[in-house]
Structure 1
Amino acid sequence: MKLLVLHGVNLNMFGQRDPAHYGTATLADIDTGLRSLAQELGVGVECFQTNHEGALCERIHQAHRDAADGVLINAGAWTHTSLAIRDALAILRCPIVEVHMSNIHAREPFRHRSFIAPIAAGQVCGFGVDSYLLGLRALVGQAQTAIKK
């Protein structure tokens, strides 16, 4: 099983940016935890981060061409603003799980709306690094179900 983890804009600044909302874990810490859990679950995972919206869309297009089995995404602020990323994700034929370190529904009103949520299998938010790990577990389950169909 090939899974893709996508990290959006500013997420390379985890560990340095607003620790009250995002904690002190770095993106490298998060990716290490995801790779460890993926190995435990017997799946492959690739992690990708960019601060360029077009690059994220192109990586999603590549996931489609590669027939990825699932995508875990934290698009950062693009969650609330990017129709381009939403439309790129809609091309995929695999499950999508959206994750966020903070609880976006308990923050500023502009963060309450996600363009990704309507096309995702689900959303995990508010649990810090555990949001990613819970999301990966959920994605593996969704992908296994999709493969059986």
Structure 2
Amino acid sequence: MAQTIFVLNGPNLNALGKREPGIYGGKTLKDIEADCKSVGESLGFVVDFRQSNHEGVLVDWLHEAGDVAAGIAINPGAYGHTSIALHDAIRAISVPVVEVHISNIHAREEFRHKSMIAPAAKGMICGFGPYGYILALHALKSITQ
């Protein structure tokens, strides 16, 4: 039976493909979802792909995933730099979490250099564009076997 992996996306990621393509590329979130589902299937995962602009919804999904998923990839968007609530939600669950950022947050504005998620996550992937999601799925495969 295939394991479920949640791929969660935070604020403004629904605007991918239109929003600052020089930073985030031209792929839409739907494109990334299709890639994740295809690669996830090849890895033996069922990918549950979601996006919300609301912090509390992301917290609820983390709690849900903690009960039913083998792992989580999360692109918290800007909440990655500010959300103690997401940090605490990740610490409250026992499944591995991989943080994903499309851009290299360490090469951008200083306020983006610190992640509130990283100390609670298994690891972080940033700067590889949408391929970072695929790298996160492979990382989750490696740590959930």
Q: TM-score, structure 2 length as denominator?
A: 0.96
Displacement after TM superposition at 1:45 (Å): 1.0
Q: Secondary structure at the match of 1:119?
A: coil
| Higher share of residues assigned helix | 1
Which residue is equivalent to 1:11?
A: 13
Structure 1 CA distance for aligned equivalents of residues 32 and 19 of structure 2: 15
Displacement after TM superposition at 1:36 (Å): 0.3
Q: Where do residues 47-86 of structure 1 align in structure 2 (5 Å cutoff)?
A: 47-66=49-68, 68-86=69-87
Displacement after TM superposition at 1:126 (Å): 0.6
Displacement after TM superposition at 1:65 (Å): 2.7
Deviations 1:34-72 (A, max 9, x none): 000011111111001000111111111111232x11000
Displacement after TM superposition at 1:80 (Å): 0.1
Q: Report whether the alignment pairs 1:120 with 2:121.
A: yes
Give ranges in structure 1 of 5+ residues lacking alignment. 145-149
One-letter amino acid matched to 2:4: K
Number of aligned pairs? 143
One-letter amino acid matched to 2:20: D
Q: Secondary structure at the match of 2:119?
A: helix
Structure 2 CA distance for aligned equivalents of residues 129 and 59 of structure 1: 21
Structure 1 CA distance for aligned equivalents of residues 38 and 107 of structure 2: 30
Q: Where do residues 89-128 of structure 1 align in structure 2 (5 Å cutoff)?
A: 89-128=90-129
Q: Secondary structure at the match of 2:49?
A: strand
One-letter amino acid matched to 2:32: I
Deviations 1:80-114 (A, max 9, x none): 00101111111110111011110000000000000
Which aligned segments of 4 or more residues in structure 1 are displaced greater than 2 angstroms?
none
Give ranges in structure 2 of 5+ residues lacking alignment. none
One-letter amino acid matched to 2:53: N
